[in-house]
Chains A and B, each alone.
Chain A
Amino acid sequence: MTRFGRASKLGAALLGGALVLSACGSDSDGGDDTDNNNAGGGSADTVTLAWAQPLDSYNPTTAGANSNANGTILNGTVGGFWGYDGERGLVTPHEEFGTYEKVSDDPLTVEYTINEAAVWSDGVPIDCDDVQLWWTQNSGAIDGLFSAVGIQGIEDTTRPECEPGGKSFTLVYDTPYADWETAGPGVGNNKIMPAHVVAREGGLSDEEFLAALLAEDADALADAAKFFNEGWLINGSLPDESIIPSSGPYKLTGFEEGQSVTLTANEAYWGEQPATKTIVVRQVAEEQQVQALQNGEVDVIQPQPTVDVANQLEQASGIQTHLGDQYTYEHWDFNFDRGPFSESLALRQAFALCAPRQQIVENLIQPIVPDAEVKNIRSLAPWDPGYELGVDAVAPVIAEFGTTDIERARQILEEEDAVGTKIRVETLDNQRRNDSGALVKASCDEAGFDVEFVSSADFFDTTGGLSQGTFDVAQYAWIGSNQMSGWNSTFRSPAECSVEGKGNNNGCYSNAELDQLLNDILVAPNPEDAQAIAAEIELKLWEDMVTIPIFQHPGITAWGDSVQNIVPNPSQGSITWNVHEWSKG
């Protein structure tokens, strides 16, 4: 007993003495290791972006790899004729890459010329064979041998002609096409991929590959197509440098599974060199991004906007925050296949009157974006050209049904002898939608409906409420787009109202007159005409009360004070649309 105690005392005394002396010890040494400075998180020639999802493929132009993360991370490595640029994400020509011009309306003909100096980062010129590969892929030729993101207009063009090594080509459309500008090779999921790499990996010479493409020889192209569809997947480590040449200001140089992706300035880039030499994209879960930004581990974040995130950012110092809208918008869809709303316009109008749109925006969206407003136009975002035209067109209906009026809703229900009508409002189970469901129930119950609110995790599954059509009103969001073809089938009469047949028209709304307008807008010869038709469509949708838009989804971007030229962009151009201009001082 005693011995143990004495030893402890001795130990404690020694330890105490040692610690006291350590204060003197440190000053005399240290500081001889300063020869090894390097580019860490705090360095000025690196800007670090946080992104929650991983990069999984160098080829986001295939159907399987067309993800937001791939597009965002690879933006800097891509050259194309146009991009969704600026703070409104409008289609903007990229003349550094090349020029294009519509030379005829009938037939719609567009001439493209690639910059003479444009080369892949391995030095091979960007020219005819790349274009032929791009066209073969996007037109779906050879039975879609080369996987493409989807149908985006090129299937209606004839194969462009070009000389081997040639830099210009012409797209001639069989039918007029409103979105011809975005159908051409751009920055994003319809970019031009390097044909010489596909040829080499497919065991063909450049000449053989080009000949096989022109001859549409599926057998000869089988290996090349296999590489194209799967060879660019990133399995744990980066593919060899020779396989991933870049056509943009950056090239992909580093990948650590689950941790980070590194982009380094592309020295072979013919245009202006990027402002920052290295861009690092770190994989950070969205809830963790604010603290990572506060701790200086990342410079730019774009997390899911929640009230928590907004508050956290507001309290943090040294951080710039940008609040804005995204293309995604929330809406209610009526079920036209069965249930009380399917036959009765009056009941739909009553729901429009009792559904508390203003209250939902005030309670759920304004805490994040203080100046958020109720959305009245479905298919266009407030910053899209033609939005005002739409607002003017729908004004009469909005004046009558656009504001919550429980008294009038009750009046309509009484007139229709429908007080106590059971309606089932279904949505995906998440906090914001549950909150808004509770508001709808409170308000519409008061007006005389009997609302059953159901939120389920499998709402979007084949077996879920949306596909099976068990709802009377469905609440969910569409990812908007400034392409007219992006939302076309949403309101088009379905072939049959089944899980497979109804496509995006989940409520199975059907109207021949509207179908005609939807056809017209796809072939509108110029943007002005398309905007006018879009306004007409919006009015029809309101008059017939097909769906009710609620709000534009909010977006939050934040970055450290030391970073310049961050310009948030609501489109699929994403935050990295101008990554080559980011700098840190």
Chain B
Amino acid sequence: MLVFIVRRLFVSIWVFFTATIVIFFLATKVKDPLADARQLPDNTRESAMAVIIERMHLDEPFIVRYFLWLGDAIQGDLGVNRQGLSVNSMLDAAVSATLQLVIGATVISIVIGITIGVISALRQYSALDQTVTFVAFVCFSLPSFWIATLLKEFMAIDFNDWLADPVISVPFIAGISLVTALTAGGLVVGDRRSRLTVFGTTLAGMVVLLAALSATGWFNDPGLGPIVVALTALGGAIGFTVLVSGLEWAPPLKAALISAGLGIVAYFALGPVLKDPNLLTLLLLALVTAGVGYGVGWYVGGDLYRRNAIPAAIFTGLFTGAVIFLDRMLQSFASYSDSVGGRPISTIGASTPNYDGTFWQSGLDSFGHLALPSLALVLISLATYSRYTRASMLEVMNQDYVRTARAKGLSERAVVTRHVLRNGMIPITTLVSYDIGTVLGGAVITEKVFGWRAMGTMLLEGIEQGDPMPIMAFFLVSGGAIIVFNMIADIAYAVLDPRIRLS
């Protein structure tokens, strides 16, 4: 494997180096950097042009400019752009903005996309599967500038207007309830009667819930409250136990329930700490939670069930923590919304300028600014993940060893999680790591529409101004990331699938 990595790196470096020459050449030809200056009034034109010519070495031939750039770049200096600003500091800002904007969206699309893919594979050719396929393809084909504009109009402007008087109209209640109930009914496997029961109860539940939320003005001052937090935590405990080991053995369930119980105690005990924490505190709390979960699982599970009880307890603990986190966020919503003039969902930028609030308020501020661009990115990339996962899952489900697993009497849960999911995920790993490689290239259109200045914008401005420096900086980072992550994908593949040998 080491030989493989070294050989691969050696080849990559030369490919990369050659690519820089090609890209630099193209970047110098893309546009005349003096075009703007040439349109200035005549008493200012000459001097503006002279400055640019000197700064960009426009009087030198291409190859000299390339080596001037290369010489500096090797020493870590990426030069200055047409305005004389340091490209290094532009790159710093662009990379961190890109990470903020795209990483979250990518993770969400991976998680949701894979989940949807798994579910629709398990329910192949059902109404749910067809609907999901249809919606995924519709989203995939939407032009991102258009979906972004629609999101701004409906999810920001109209939503914020609605928040001023948050009453949900009757058709809306009916619509949302119907969609939720249909989804819930579709998820259930069983005869017609049990489907109808789930459909009916969900429908009634949603109608009552939405009507109550609307009537009490919950959306103006939301929150979960201790009862909901407690019930959700217990629900989570059961859910995770089902996933990890099934409900037929007591110790894992007991561990998960204890973990949830401890979480509920923490909800009350940690009140003062959670009033205005910082990120570090929260990370520490998460670590402590995981540690406690491990301990609980270890003791309660005993020798026999330790393998299942530990993850069940840890996941339940973290899930309960997330619910408490959400509750805190929601409780701060009213004061945050107040501080931004009652318009919490933003259409542009990364944060409200000069905003200074508690951890929760700043968190909501980031959320309000990230919500729409992330949603736009997620909607568009959902299709790829869900379709790949579905195809790969279906392929694995038709394998002989899956039939064997069923035949020897394994529960359906065990077949799906142990045999199908694990093997089905191998091709997805490759997809994910390619995707993370391209993430650093930014999302040009989404950035532009939502007023983020990240990698995509840097590239675009470089092209618009005929300025090779930002273009090269962009290329170094995004091209480098693609090379590295492609290699990681190959290695991951070999690690996950022992049949593959790299050298």
| A interface residues (Cβ-Cβ under 8 A, vs B) | 1-5, 7-34, 36-43, 46, 48, 54, 56-57, 62-67, 144, 147-152, 230, 233-237, 254, 256-260, 262, 278, 280, 282-285, 287-288, 291-292, 294-298, 457-458, 460-464, 467, 479, 481, 485-490, 503-504
Contact = CB atoms under 8 A, between A and B. Distances in A.
Interface in B75-101: 83-86, 89-90, 92-93, 97
A484 to B, nearest CB: 11
B495 to A, nearest CB: 31
A16 B142 CA distance: 33
A236 B152 CA distance: 28
Contacts of A28: 225
Interface residues of B, number: 112
Contacts of B333: 30
B227 A21 contact: yes
B46 A40 contact: no
Contacts of A486: 41-43
B218 A23 contact: yes
B83 A41 contact: no
A42 B351 CA distance: 13
A288 B348 contact: yes
B157 A63 contact: no
A297 B347 contact: yes
B26 interface: no
Contacts of A296: 160, 341, 343
Contacts of A67: 83
B246 A25 contact: no
B335 A36 contact: yes
A285 B451 contact: yes
Contacts of A40: 339-341, 352, 354-355
A5 B188 contact: yes
Interface string B185-220: 001111000100110011001101100110010100
Contacts of A14: 231, 234-235, 238
B346 A295 contact: yes
A189 B146 CA distance: 39
A8 B119 CA distance: 13
Nearest to A296: B343
Task: Tell me which of A30, A32, A235 has the highest count of chain B C-beta atoms within 10 A of its own C-beta.
Answer: A30
Given A258-B93, A258-B97, A3 B411 contact: yes
B209 A23 contact: yes
Task: Tell me which of A2, A7, A25, A147 has the highest count of chain B C-beta atoms within 10 A of its own C-beta.
Answer: A25
Contacts of A282: 348-349, 353, 451
A230 B448 CA distance: 29
Nearest to A257: B93
Interface stretch (B28-36, B381-389, B428-436, B470-478): B28-36
Contact of A25 (B197, B225, B351, B452): B225
Contacts of B338: 34, 37
26 contacts: A8-B187, A10-B238, A13-B201, A18-B232, A25-B225, A26-B330, A31-B221, A33-B361, A38-B339, A38-B356, A41-B341, A41-B352, A66-B48, A147-B47, A233-B85, A236-B93, A257-B90, A258-B453, A259-B349, A262-B354, A285-B449, A288-B449, A295-B156, A296-B343, A461-B34, A464-B35
B47 A21 contact: no
Given A9-B194, A36-B357, A41-B353, 11 more contacts: A13-B201, A56-B85, A63-B48, A63-B50, A65-B84, A150-B47, A233-B85, A278-B354, A284-B348, A458-B32, A503-B45
A64 to B, nearest CB: 4
A4 B188 CA distance: 9
Nearest to B149: A291
Nearest to B184: A12
Given A3-B413, A30-B334, A149-B44, A460 B227 contact: no
Contact of B361 (A29, A36, A42): A36
Interface in B305-360: 330-335, 338-343, 345-358, 360
B447 to A, nearest CB: 9
A265 to B, nearest CB: 14
B363 interface: no
Given A15-B235, A64-B51, A297-B349, A38 B42 contact: no
Nearest to B229: A25
A297 B346 contact: yes
Contacts of A256: 351, 353
A5 B194 contact: yes
B308 to A, nearest CB: 15
A29 B358 CA distance: 18
A450 B40 CA distance: 33
Task: Tell me which of B48, B149, B342 has the highest count of chain A C-beta atoms within 10 A of its own C-beta.
Answer: B48
A149 to B, nearest CB: 5
Contacts, number: 327
Contacts of A56: 83-85
Nearest to A459: B35
Contact of A461 (B32, B198, B354): B32
A18 B39 contact: no
B296 to A, nearest CB: 22
A464 B355 CA distance: 47
Task: Tell me which of A65, A486, A504 has the highest count of chain B C-beta atoms within 10 A of its own C-beta.
Answer: A504
Contact of B209 (A5, A20, A254, A287): A20
B334 A21 contact: no
Contacts of B89: 235-237, 257
Nearest to A7: B242
A28 B331 CA distance: 11
A235 B85 contact: yes
B227 A63 contact: no
A278 B352 CA distance: 14
B218 to A, nearest CB: 5
Contact of B205 (A20, A148, A254, A257): A20
B349 A487 contact: no
B225 A22 contact: yes
Contact of A38 (B222, B234, B332, B355): B355
Nearest to A17: B231
Contact of B239 (A5, A11, A19): A11
Contacts of B224: 22, 25-26
A16 B453 CA distance: 41
B228 A151 contact: no
Contact of B339 (A11, A37, A479): A37
B157 A294 contact: yes
A23 B347 contact: no
Given A33-B332, A233-B83, A295 B347 contact: yes
Interface string B355-377: 11110110000000000000000
Contacts of A4: 189, 242, 412-413
A30 B222 contact: yes
A464 B412 CA distance: 70
Interface in B437-476: 448-454, 457
A31 B358 CA distance: 14
Interface in B166-199: 184, 187-190, 194, 197-198
A42 B223 contact: no
B38 interface: yes
A37 B361 CA distance: 10
Contacts of A457: 31
A503 B339 contact: no
